[in-house]
Amino acid sequence: MNGWLAGLAVLIPLAGAAVTLLAHGLPRAQTVLSLLFAAALLLDASLLMAAVWRDGMVVVQASAWDAPFGISLAVDTLGAVMTLIAAITGLACLAYATAEIDEGHRRAFFHPLSHVLLAGVCGSFVTGDLFNLYVWFEVLLIASFGLLVIGGTRAQTDGAVKYVALNLVATSLFLLATGLIYGLTGTLNMADLSRAVPRVENTGVLNAAAMLLLAAFGMKAAVFPLFFWLPASYHTPLVAVSAVFAGLLTKVGVYALIRTVTLIFTHDPEWINGVLLWTAGLTMLTGVLGAAAQNEWRRILSFHIVSQIGYMVMGLAIGTKLAIVGSVFYLVHHIVVKANLFLIAGVAQRLTGSMELKRSGGLYEAAPWLAILFFIPAFSLAGFPPLSGFWAKFIVIKAALDERSIAIAAAALVTGLLTIYSMTKIWGEAFWKPHPAGPVEETGAPRAMVVPIAALAACTIVIGLFAQPFLAVAERTAAELTDPSAYAAAVLGRLP
C-alpha cells in the first residue's frame, strides 16, 4: 500500500493533467477537477508523509522489476517532506489562480500544464533513479515553459525563450553527465550508484561527470554564476505561476543537489564540498546585492530566491548533520515563504495597479490585513524571530560556526542584513508611502486569493512558533542523508 502512495504522487497529477485536458471545453468543470486533483495530491502526499514517518523509507519498484533493473521509487523523509510541501504550494497557487486567470489563460491550457508541472516536481522528489530524475526535469522544464508563455505578451515570450534556451543547455548537461556516469558505473539506480561510485577508479572522469551534473542542478537551483535566467524570467508570468516557480522549481534543483551529493558523490568531499561552499557564499552575496538594485516587487523577490538558495547550499556544503538539518529546514521554510510573497505581490498589484515600487504605495492604510500578511513572510525571509526563517538561519549559521567556517558565517550575516534592507524597501515603498496617484481604494481582494495567502502565512507562523516537530523531521532527514548505506540497503534490499 505504501508503495502506491509513492506512485500516486506522480500518477495523480498526471491523471489530473489528462482529465483537465479532456474537460477543456467545460470551464467550470475543469476548474473544479483541477482543484480536486490538487487536493487529492495533497491527501496522497500527507498519507505518504505519515507512512514514511511511521514505517520508514517507502520503496517501490515500478513495473515490479527488481532494483536496479527497473525504476525504483524511493521516498525517504526528505522526499516525503518535499512532496508534501509541493502539494501544499500547488494547491494554494491553483486556488489563487482560479481568481487570477482569465478565459485566455484557461484556453492556453493553464490547468493541464499546472498539473504536469506538479507531476514533474513530485516525480523528482519520489524517484530513486538518475535517468528518471532527468525525465522529470524535462517534464518540469517543458511545463514551466508552457506556463511562462501562457499570457502571450512580448515580455513573457522574451523571458520564456531565454528560460528555455538556458535550461535546455542545463538539461543537456544533465543528460551527458548521466551518460558518463552510466558508462563509468553501469547503473542508473541511485542506491546502486551510491555503492558503485566509490569503486570507480577513474576519479578524474567521475568528478568531471559529477561537476557537470552539479552544474546542471546548480543551474536549476540558480546558484552563482548560473542564476541569471531566474531574475530575467520570473517577473513576467502570471502571479500564481511565478509563485509556484519561486516556491518549487529552484528547490527541485536544490533537492537534486542534496540528494546526489549526500547519496552518490560521497567519494571526494574535499573537492566537491569545497566547490559547493564557494558557490554558496557567492550565491548568497550576489543574489542579495542584485536584489538591492531592483525596484519591482517580483524582481526583488526573484533575486532573493537566489540569495536564499545560497543558504541551503551552504548547509549542504558544510555537510555536518546539523548543517543538513539547517538546509532541509531552510528548504521547507523558503518554499512556503517565497511562494506566499509572490502571491502577496499579486494582490498588491491588484490593489495599487503596479508592481513597480515607484508607482505603488498606500497599502498600509488601504489594506492593513495585507500589511500583516506581508509582514509574516517578509520578516521570516529576513530571519526575524520567532518566524520560521530565524530558525533556518540560526541552524545554518550555528553549523558554520561549529565547524569554524567564520567566513561563510559572516557572508550569511551580511546577506541577512541586506535582506532586511530589501524587505523594508518594499515595506516603505508599497505600504507606508502614500500612493503617488492619491489614496488607494479600500477594496478587498477575492477570497480565492486571500485564503491561500493566509494559509501559507499560518504555515510560516506555525513553523516558527512550534518549530519542534519540524525540527524533528529535519533531524531525521539529516540522519538519513548522512547514512547513504541505509538508503541503498532499503532500495536494493540486500547488503553489498
Partner 1 sequence: MPDGIVLACLVGLPFVAAIVAGLLPTRARDTASMLAGAVALVCLGLVWSAYGTVSGGGVLRAELPWMPQLGLSIVLRMDGFAWLFAGLITGIGALVVLYARYYMSAEDPVPRFFSFLLAFMGAMTGLVLSGHLVQLALFWELTSFLSFLLIGYWHHTAAARDGARMALTITATGGLSLFAGVLVLGHIVGSYDLDVVLAAGDTIRDHPLYIVALILIVLGALTKSAQFPFHFWLPHAMAAPTPVSAYLHSATLVKAGVFLLARLWPVMAGTDAWAWTVGLAGLITMLIGAYIAIFQNDLKGLLAYSTISHLGLITLLLGLKSELALIAAIFHTMNHAAFKCSLFMAAGIIDHETGTRDIRRLSGLNGPMPFTARLALVAAAAMAGVPLLNGFISKEMFFAEALSATAPVHPLLNVLPLAAMLASAFSVVYSLRFIHGVFFGSPPTDLPRTPHEPATWMRFPVEILVLTCIMVGVLPAATVGPYLDIAARAVLGDATPYYSLAVWHGVNLPLLMSVVAMAAGVTIYLILQRRLREGMDGPPLIRHLDAQRLFERAMVTLSWRLARTLERIAGTRRLQPQLRLILIAAIVAGAGAAFVRGVGPGNLVPAPIDPVLALLWVVGAACALGAAWQAKFHRLAATILLGGVGLVVCVTFVWFSAPDLALTQLTVEIVTTVLLLLGLRWLPKRMQSSSAREPEVLGRTRRLRDLAIATAAGGCMAMLAYVVMTRTPPELLAQHFLARAYLEGGGTNVVNVILVDFRGFDTLGEIFVVGVVALTTFALLRRFRPAADSVELPEQQRDQLEADEARHARDDGRHVADWLLVPFTLTRLLFPVMLVAAAFLLLRGHDLPGGGFSAGMVVAIAIILQYIVGGTEWTEDRLSLLRPPAWIGTGLLLAAGTGVAAWAFGLPFMTSYFSYADLPVLGKVPMASALIFDIGVFVLVVGATLLMLIALAHQSVRGRRSTPRTLPQAKASPRVADAVGGGG
Residues 386-405 that bind partner 1 (CB under 8 A): 386, 390, 394-395, 397-398, 401-402
User: Nearest approach, Cβ of 301 to partner 1 (angstroms)?
Assistant: 15
Task: List the x/- string, 2-41, binding to partner 1 by CB under 8 A.
Answer: -xx--xx--x--xx-xxx-xx-xx----------------
Q: What 3-state class would DSSP assign to 71?
A: strand
**Contact pick of 49, 82, 86, 212 for partner 1 (by CB under 8 A):** 212
Copy the grid coordinates of residue 391: 530558525
Binding of partner 1 by 268 (CB under 8 A): yes
| Pairing mode, strands 71-75 and 58-62 | antiparallel
**Which residue, 331 or 418, has its beta carbon nearer to partner 1?**
418
Please report where in the chains the cell 542545463 appears, as a residue. Answer: 170
Per CB under 8 A, which of residues 58..117 are in contact with partner 1? 60-65, 68-71, 107-109, 112-113, 116
Specify the 3-state DSSP secondary structure of 356: strand
72 beta partners = 61
Least Cβ distance, residue 368 to partner 1 (angstroms) = 8
Grouping H, G, I as helix, E, B as strand and the rest as coil, residue 73 is: strand
Alpha-carbon radius of gyration of the chain: 21
**Which residue stretch of 282-290, 339-347, 352-360, 454-462 sits at the interface with partner 1 (rule: CB under 8 A)?**
282-290
Distance (Å, rounded) from C-alpha 131 to C-alpha 187? 10
**Does the footprint of partner 1 cover residue 436 (CB under 8 A)?**
no
Q: Is 443 in the site for partner 1 (CB under 8 A)?
A: no
Pull the grid cell for residue 438.
492619491
Listed residue (45, 89, 91, 125) closest to 460, CA to CA: 89
Q: Does residue 155 interact with partner 1 by CB under 8 A? A: no
Query: Does 258 contact partner 1 by CB under 8 A?
Result: no
Shortest distance (Å) from residue 267 CB to partner 1 = 10
What minimum distance in Å lies between the beta carbon of 343 and partner 1? 23
- Could you write out the DSSP letters of every residue in 460-491? HHHHHHTHHHHHHHHHHHHHHHT-HHHHHHHH
407 burial level (CB within 10 Å; 0-12, 13-18, 19+): exposed
Among 214, 357, 370, 459, binds partner 1 (CB under 8 A): 214
Interface with partner 1 (CB under 8 A), residue from 77, 187, 266, 380: 187
Task: List the interface residues with partner 1, window 313-352 (CB under 8 A).
Answer: none
For partner 1, the closer of residues 153 and 446 by Cβ is 153
Contacting partner 1 (CB under 8 A), which of 46, 320, 424, 482? 424
CB of 258 to partner 1, least distance (A): 18
How is 84-148 classified by DSSP, letter by letter? HHHHHHHHHHHHHHHHH--HHHHHTTHHHHHHHHHHHHHHHHHB-BHHHHHHHHHHHHHHHHHHH
Please tell me whether residue 142 binds partner 1 under the rule CB under 8 A.
yes
- Interface with partner 1 includes 135 (CB under 8 A)? yes
